[in-house]
Structure 1
């Protein structure tokens, strides 16, 4: 038995007071890592009714680091993209639930269980809030998240290119992986860029050392294949979903008149007038097609028929120049508002936007040599 314990047994009057402290707390995450906590005790006693000098002692330890990083998809919808589009973003929220300021190292992976892979290098951008949550020119390209404070969240865009030839509804998953790291500190004054920190090591299996800040990983399992609980990582999956225009082109010709039969059962003989209809259809369920432009070279033995003014009276006076229109069943209608042109034997026209589920046409006439 120690001398202090003997004293406690022998005295007739004993009082014990534990002297407390006011700890430093993060917003919701408990006491800051590295906070030094000293707890002092004083034992007062009497001997034979006479007060004696109090015995004191104290204990000190530092608060350890509870490492908890949370990566989440920023919203519930997939990111709609078009085939062959560049610099397309999927978006995540990265939150620091650690009782310390940290850096976050960023990597990503494509699981290979989806419909296609993005192309090029996946890059990362910090959303600067110009248009909150939307990737735009105001965002900053980064390789890691610097100095993420306790209980703070940031929005991160992972940006890549979409290959050509992918169909509407095709999906590509991107898993953003964050790894908790020590804050690297200030960088070179000339650059103003801080130093990337070193990833934390898990100290939960080490012997307790009250003088050191030790790391205990408290993160949940993420969506990455190798991202388990309590490993210092966290990850989440966001998805590109292709919305493509499904364009088909159908070109038909109709003989309107010939110099022998007129417009009654006409044939494609020399001097006959033939009407061409180029129908551009965009299947339902996809994206609208914009900037739809047509170029058609008139073949040999045909001559562009530019005017009805000198044409046969029996030819319907529908058009005298290239014009747009619509299709009802198999009938081409010259009822559009746009017009085209012909130059050096090439017919051209711009249909503008062809909506999903719509069909628009370009119509022109020729004569047979």
Structure 2
């Protein structure tokens, strides 16, 4: 009599000998993959080897839906009043950067939304929330360079993001002109998982997944989408970043130095009639990040008891360092230059000049000379 031994294989404990399994990644085995486990049982009857009994079990891996989102820069994004989402010379777009990561074991879409913090709420990096940003828009990094490229990054949702992959998302907007240095604006990006299309179609945001965590496993060994249960781990997440106003902060200081008088020359000169006085206009930009551009200076001396000095000193114990009144954008100690200064001149008693750009944390000067009437 031949007896047969039946061996029950359960899917509750899977050994390392499983067949057909994919290598494990951070997100785990991909949803929809099938795992087949086969067993062979050898036995003898009366010392005679019998035909081995075999059996196998196949199940389909379910879908784990999980994600993370994080602010990318680790600090507030400095902007200046009037900065916009547009990209133009001297006016780069104002944007915040976030990283969205698909920790699921399947390809998914992400819906994106932005919310401004309530005024007075603490922002992540710069204290209270002081202003709102207008014309908020969300765009996905299309070329992977981590920088918002206006007109290039145009997608407004994340389409078909593969498992274990990340993508940068930008929130762009217009900064109000009324904002002042130190003001902050906090903005929260929320990303929510939506159905992916397994890379087949794409181009449209998928619908919401159903949560099958609390229901019985529908596993029947058939490979189809309806047979994959969805387990929600974290299907929506948020992160907050903020803009901070760090504009050019200009301060002006005007000083005068007597260089020469007709009695003492350049040795201890006094501001008597006929004396030559040098004015120094110092423009300091105390911002640590932002240059002041097109810095124009106007100084009207026509109503003062001085005259623009534009002649050579005829005699005296010593001459002043510069023999005429040509306006210059040199440092007040006579050293240094300002390469982008332009339009320096005098007309009708009005001194004018353009210092060009005054870089962050720098001082540039314009000097001119007068004689005391």
TM-score, length basis structure 1? 0.69
Distance, in Å, in 2 between the alignment partners of 1:161 and 1:34 is: 44
Structure with bigger strand share is 1
1-structure distance, mates of 2:258, 2:369: 9
1:336-351 residue pairs with structure 2 within 5 A?
336-338=336-338, 340-343=344-347, 345-351=349-355
Report the secondary structure of 2:6's partner residue: strand
Aligned residues: 335
Aligned to 2:15: none
Q: CA deviation at 1:38?
A: 7.3
Map 1:24-103; keep pairs closer than 5 Å.
Answer: 24=22, 27-35=25-33, 62-86=60-84, 87-103=93-109
The structure-2 alpha-carbon separation of the partners of 1:155 and 1:258, relative to structure 1 and needing over 3 Å to count, comes to same
1:128-167 alignment runs, 5 A limit: 128-129=142-143, 132-136=145-149, 139-164=152-177, 166=179
Q: 1:28 to 1:95 in 2, by over 3 A?
A: same
Find the aligned partners of 1:184 and 1:311 in 2 and give their Cα distance. 89
Q: What 5-or-longer segments of structure 2 have no aligned partner?
A: 11-17, 44-51, 85-92, 221-226
Retained in 1: the 8 A contact 2:65–2:104? yes
Equivalent residue runs for 1:308-347 within 5 Å: 308-309=311-312, 316=320, 318=322, 319-326=324-331, 333-338=333-338, 340-343=344-347, 345-347=349-351
C-alpha distance 160-145 of structure 1, shift in aligned 2 (>3 A): same
TM-score, L = length of structure 2: 0.68
Structure 1 position 215 matched with structure 2 position 221: no
Counterpart CA distance in 2 for 1:244 and 1:36 is: 58
Query: What is the aligned-residue RMSD (CA, Å)?
Result: 4.8
2:133 aligned residue? 119
Q: Of 212, 236, 240, which aligns to 2:239?
A: 236
SS of match in other structure, 1:146: strand
Distance in 1 (CA, whole Å) between partners of 2:180 and 2:315 is 48
- 2:154 is paired with a residue whose SS is strand
